[in-house]
Amino acid sequence: MGFFWRLLPVFLAYFSIGRIDAWGREGHFMVCKIAEKFLTENAREAVTNLLPPVAGGDLAAVCSWADDILTRYPWSFPLHYVNTPGVCNYDQSRDCHNDDGVQGMCVVGAINNYTTQLRTFGQPFKPHVPRPFVGDVHDPVDVSFYDDEGGIFIIVYWYGSKTNLHRVWDVNIVQTAINKIYKNNVNAMIESIEGNITVREWNGEIFQWQSCASNDLTCV
């Protein structure tokens, strides 16, 4: 049984039970709120024009949509992660495919694909799902070795509660930080991370994040 089919039932249960508290809601919301601050005026206008009315002009309002519809479109599940065969490097042809061998079906392929669609917006293209994928590609349990299986079957204890490593990264760390450090104030956590980016630890890295050292479309 392939990686996708082994983990799909676990993930469908994961996204249907207690979904409101999941990383897709809080983590992706924060990622988008921070990313919005770094959009150029042209990019901000383009994003606003593409948002559905239900978003109310707020990109963060729809940043978990691709997680929300996993139960409806299970084919999109592989677009949320990428695995390597126990090596710390990425090879597009080797690593970016689903269990049927369809190329481009991984989080890196998803980012490249939807970036291309945005750059060619207005030309004919296939229907697609929006993306929390930039958040996913920075999650260590979504970018890992094939044999790790996303940490789903690695049992750990978080503050005395039995859980698995994937849930700790996706849910528990974020929620614990919000609750214990930022007194249940998501905006305070966002402001703290923004301060690290613009003023403190990561200020000198912003230009590198915004630039491609090669001719790659997205530098994923």
| CA atoms within 13 Å, Cβ hemisphere of 8 | 17
Q: What is the pLDDT of residue 133?
A: 86
In eight-state DSSP terms, residue 168 is: I
Predicted local distance difference test score (pLDDT) of residue 126: 46
At residue 134, the pLDDT reads 85
Which segments of the chain have a pLDDT < 70?
A: 1-24, 122-132, 213-218
Q: Which pTM value belongs to this model?
A: 0.78
What are the CB-based long-range contacts (under 8 Å, 24+) for 145-151?
145/83, 145/84, 145/85, 145/86, 146/3, 146/83, 146/84, 146/85, 146/86, 147/86, 148/83, 149/3, 149/6, 149/7, 150/7, 150/81
pLDDT of residue 17: 39
